Amino acid sequence: MTETLRDDAEERARAHRADLALVEAVLAGDSAALDALIKRLECVPRILHTLNERAGRVLTPADLADLSQDVLVLIWEKLKTFEGRATLETWTYRFCWLESRNCFRRVYRGREIGPGASALIFEELPAAEVSLAIEHEAIEIGLSELGPPGSEVIRLKHFEERTFPEIGSLLGIPTNTAKTHYYRGLEWLRQRLRSLGEGME
Protein backbone atom coordinates (compact mmCIF):
# COMPACT_ATOMS: atom_id res chain seq x y z
CA MET A 1 0.00 0.00 0.00
CA THR A 2 2.80 2.43 0.92
CA GLU A 3 4.58 1.69 -2.34
CA THR A 4 1.35 2.28 -4.30
CA LEU A 5 0.77 5.61 -2.58
CA ARG A 6 4.36 6.61 -3.29
CA ASP A 7 3.99 5.67 -6.95
CA ASP A 8 0.74 7.63 -7.19
CA ALA A 9 2.36 10.68 -5.60
CA GLU A 10 5.29 10.47 -8.01
CA GLU A 11 2.92 10.18 -10.95
CA ARG A 12 0.99 13.26 -9.79
CA ALA A 13 4.23 15.16 -9.36
CA ARG A 14 5.33 14.23 -12.88
CA ALA A 15 1.99 15.39 -14.31
CA HIS A 16 2.26 18.69 -12.44
CA ARG A 17 5.84 19.23 -13.65
CA ALA A 18 4.82 18.46 -17.21
CA ASP A 19 2.00 21.01 -17.05
CA LEU A 20 4.31 23.62 -15.54
CA ALA A 21 6.85 22.98 -18.32
CA LEU A 22 4.05 23.41 -20.89
CA VAL A 23 2.99 26.75 -19.42
CA GLU A 24 6.58 27.97 -19.21
CA ALA A 25 7.07 27.04 -22.86
CA VAL A 26 3.93 28.95 -23.82
CA LEU A 27 5.13 32.02 -21.92
CA ALA A 28 8.48 31.71 -23.69
CA GLY A 29 6.73 31.92 -27.05
CA ASP A 30 6.77 28.24 -28.11
CA SER A 31 4.06 27.92 -30.81
CA ALA A 32 3.76 24.13 -30.44
CA ALA A 33 3.22 24.53 -26.70
CA LEU A 34 0.59 27.19 -27.37
CA ASP A 35 -1.27 24.80 -29.68
CA ALA A 36 -1.17 22.15 -26.95
CA LEU A 37 -2.47 24.61 -24.37
CA ILE A 38 -5.30 25.73 -26.63
CA LYS A 39 -6.28 22.07 -27.03
CA ARG A 40 -6.28 21.57 -23.27
CA LEU A 41 -8.45 24.66 -22.77
CA GLU A 42 -11.18 23.24 -24.98
CA CYS A 43 -12.54 21.89 -21.70
CA VAL A 44 -13.60 25.41 -20.61
CA PRO A 45 -16.90 25.63 -22.55
CA ARG A 46 -17.82 22.10 -21.50
CA ILE A 47 -17.08 22.79 -17.84
CA LEU A 48 -19.18 25.97 -17.95
CA HIS A 49 -22.01 24.07 -19.65
CA THR A 50 -21.96 21.48 -16.86
CA LEU A 51 -21.94 24.15 -14.14
CA ASN A 52 -24.85 25.93 -15.84
CA GLU A 53 -26.83 22.69 -15.99
CA ARG A 54 -26.25 22.09 -12.29
CA ALA A 55 -27.38 25.64 -11.51
CA GLY A 56 -30.67 25.12 -13.36
CA ARG A 57 -29.73 26.53 -16.77
CA VAL A 58 -29.42 30.08 -15.53
CA LEU A 59 -27.48 31.17 -18.62
CA THR A 60 -28.52 31.12 -22.27
CA PRO A 61 -26.23 29.61 -24.95
CA ALA A 62 -25.20 33.16 -25.90
CA ASP A 63 -24.41 33.94 -22.25
CA LEU A 64 -22.31 30.77 -22.02
CA ALA A 65 -20.38 31.68 -25.18
CA ASP A 66 -19.60 35.12 -23.76
CA LEU A 67 -18.63 33.64 -20.41
CA SER A 68 -16.32 31.13 -22.09
CA GLN A 69 -14.46 33.96 -23.80
CA ASP A 70 -14.23 35.90 -20.54
CA VAL A 71 -12.82 32.86 -18.72
CA LEU A 72 -10.28 32.14 -21.47
CA VAL A 73 -9.09 35.76 -21.40
CA LEU A 74 -8.77 35.60 -17.61
CA ILE A 75 -6.84 32.33 -17.78
CA TRP A 76 -4.45 33.85 -20.30
CA GLU A 77 -3.95 36.94 -18.12
CA LYS A 78 -3.24 34.76 -15.07
CA LEU A 79 -1.18 32.12 -16.86
CA LYS A 80 2.09 33.37 -15.39
CA THR A 81 0.72 32.64 -11.91
CA PHE A 82 0.44 28.90 -12.62
CA GLU A 83 2.94 27.14 -10.36
CA GLY A 84 2.33 23.51 -11.22
CA ARG A 85 0.81 22.66 -7.84
CA ALA A 86 -2.15 21.03 -9.60
CA THR A 87 -2.98 19.91 -13.11
CA LEU A 88 -3.99 22.51 -15.66
CA GLU A 89 -7.52 21.14 -15.57
CA THR A 90 -7.81 21.62 -11.81
CA TRP A 91 -6.38 25.13 -12.06
CA THR A 92 -8.70 25.98 -14.98
CA TYR A 93 -11.77 24.57 -13.24
CA ARG A 94 -11.38 27.07 -10.43
CA PHE A 95 -11.60 29.98 -12.87
CA CYS A 96 -14.67 28.43 -14.47
CA TRP A 97 -16.30 27.97 -11.09
CA LEU A 98 -15.62 31.47 -9.79
CA GLU A 99 -16.57 33.30 -12.98
CA SER A 100 -19.74 31.27 -13.50
CA ARG A 101 -20.77 31.89 -9.90
CA ASN A 102 -20.32 35.64 -10.39
CA CYS A 103 -22.27 35.47 -13.64
CA PHE A 104 -25.13 33.54 -12.01
CA ARG A 105 -25.29 36.18 -9.28
CA ARG A 106 -25.50 39.03 -11.81
CA VAL A 107 -28.27 37.27 -13.73
CA TYR A 108 -30.31 36.71 -10.56
CA ARG A 109 -29.82 40.28 -9.41
CA GLY A 110 -31.00 41.61 -12.76
CA ARG A 111 -34.04 39.38 -12.97
CA GLU A 112 -37.41 41.07 -12.56
CA ILE A 113 -39.74 39.53 -10.01
CA GLY A 114 -43.31 39.24 -11.25
CA PRO A 115 -46.43 39.31 -9.03
CA GLY A 116 -46.39 35.54 -8.52
CA ALA A 117 -42.63 35.08 -8.19
CA SER A 118 -40.96 34.24 -4.92
CA ALA A 119 -38.95 37.05 -3.35
CA LEU A 120 -36.78 34.34 -1.75
CA ILE A 121 -34.97 33.81 -5.04
CA PHE A 122 -32.27 36.26 -3.94
CA GLU A 123 -32.06 34.80 -0.45
CA GLU A 124 -31.84 31.23 -1.67
CA LEU A 125 -28.98 31.77 -4.11
CA PRO A 126 -26.21 32.42 -1.57
CA ALA A 127 -27.08 29.23 0.34
CA ALA A 128 -26.98 27.25 -2.89
CA GLU A 129 -23.66 28.82 -3.81
CA VAL A 130 -22.14 27.94 -0.45
CA SER A 131 -23.32 24.34 -0.79
CA LEU A 132 -21.88 24.00 -4.30
CA ALA A 133 -18.64 25.71 -3.26
CA ILE A 134 -18.14 23.24 -0.41
CA GLU A 135 -18.97 20.33 -2.70
CA HIS A 136 -16.60 21.58 -5.39
CA GLU A 137 -13.75 22.16 -2.95
CA ALA A 138 -14.17 18.65 -1.50
CA ILE A 139 -14.19 17.11 -4.97
CA GLU A 140 -11.11 19.07 -5.98
CA ILE A 141 -9.27 17.94 -2.86
CA GLY A 142 -10.25 14.34 -3.52
CA LEU A 143 -9.29 14.40 -7.19
CA SER A 144 -5.99 16.07 -6.42
CA GLU A 145 -5.17 13.33 -3.92
CA LEU A 146 -6.37 10.58 -6.26
CA GLY A 147 -4.15 11.83 -9.07
CA PRO A 148 -3.91 10.58 -12.65
CA PRO A 149 -4.96 8.54 -14.44
CA GLY A 150 -8.06 8.09 -12.26
CA SER A 151 -8.61 11.80 -11.66
CA GLU A 152 -8.23 12.62 -15.36
CA VAL A 153 -10.70 9.91 -16.37
CA ILE A 154 -13.26 11.19 -13.85
CA ARG A 155 -12.77 14.79 -14.99
CA LEU A 156 -13.22 13.87 -18.64
CA LYS A 157 -16.27 11.76 -17.88
CA HIS A 158 -18.10 14.19 -15.59
CA PHE A 159 -16.79 17.67 -16.35
CA GLU A 160 -16.45 17.25 -20.12
CA GLU A 161 -19.10 14.54 -20.60
CA ARG A 162 -16.78 12.36 -22.69
CA THR A 163 -17.51 8.75 -23.57
CA PHE A 164 -15.15 5.98 -22.46
CA PRO A 165 -13.86 5.45 -26.04
CA GLU A 166 -13.12 9.18 -26.27
CA ILE A 167 -11.38 9.13 -22.89
CA GLY A 168 -9.29 6.15 -23.91
CA SER A 169 -8.28 7.89 -27.12
CA LEU A 170 -7.40 11.14 -25.33
CA LEU A 171 -5.31 9.39 -22.67
CA GLY A 172 -3.83 6.76 -24.95
CA ILE A 173 -5.29 3.82 -23.05
CA PRO A 174 -7.77 1.04 -23.98
CA THR A 175 -11.46 1.75 -23.41
CA ASN A 176 -11.73 -1.02 -20.80
CA THR A 177 -8.73 0.39 -18.94
CA ALA A 178 -10.43 3.79 -18.89
CA LYS A 179 -13.53 2.17 -17.40
CA THR A 180 -11.44 0.39 -14.78
CA HIS A 181 -9.71 3.63 -13.74
CA TYR A 182 -13.08 5.37 -13.66
CA TYR A 183 -14.91 2.91 -11.41
CA ARG A 184 -11.95 2.36 -9.09
CA GLY A 185 -11.32 6.09 -8.89
CA LEU A 186 -14.99 6.82 -8.29
CA GLU A 187 -15.16 4.38 -5.41
CA TRP A 188 -11.97 5.82 -3.91
CA LEU A 189 -13.39 9.33 -4.34
CA ARG A 190 -16.67 8.38 -2.64
CA GLN A 191 -14.76 7.09 0.38
CA ARG A 192 -12.53 10.17 0.45
CA LEU A 193 -15.46 12.58 0.19
CA ARG A 194 -17.16 10.77 3.02
CA SER A 195 -14.11 11.26 5.24
CA LEU A 196 -13.81 14.90 4.16
CA GLY A 197 -17.46 15.45 4.97
CA GLU A 198 -17.02 13.98 8.43
CA GLY A 199 -14.06 16.27 8.97
CA MET A 200 -16.19 19.32 8.19
CA GLU A 201 -18.87 18.45 10.76
Domains and CATH numbers, the chain: 1-108 (1.10.1740.10), 125-201 (1.10.10.10)
Mean pLDDT per 10-residue segment, the chain (201 residues): 50 80 96 94 86 81 94 94 82 84 74 37 39 55 77 79 85 90 85 59 42
Question: Does 149 sit behind a cis peptide bond, omega within 30 degrees of 0 on the bond before it?
Answer: yes
CA–CA gap between residue 14 and residue 134 (Å, rounded): 28
What span, in angstroms and rounded, lies between the C-alpha atoms of 168 and 68? 26
Q: How many CB atoms lie within 10 A of CB 161?
A: 13
Predicted confidence at residue 132, as pLDDT, reads: 47
Compute CA 6 distance to the chain's CA centroid, rounded to the nearest angstrom.
Answer: 25
Question: Is residue 99 within a helix (H) or strand (E), and if so which, with residue range?
Answer: helix 88-109
Q: How far is the C-alpha of 193 from the C-alpha of 183, rounded, in Å? A: 15
In this prediction the pTM is 0.56
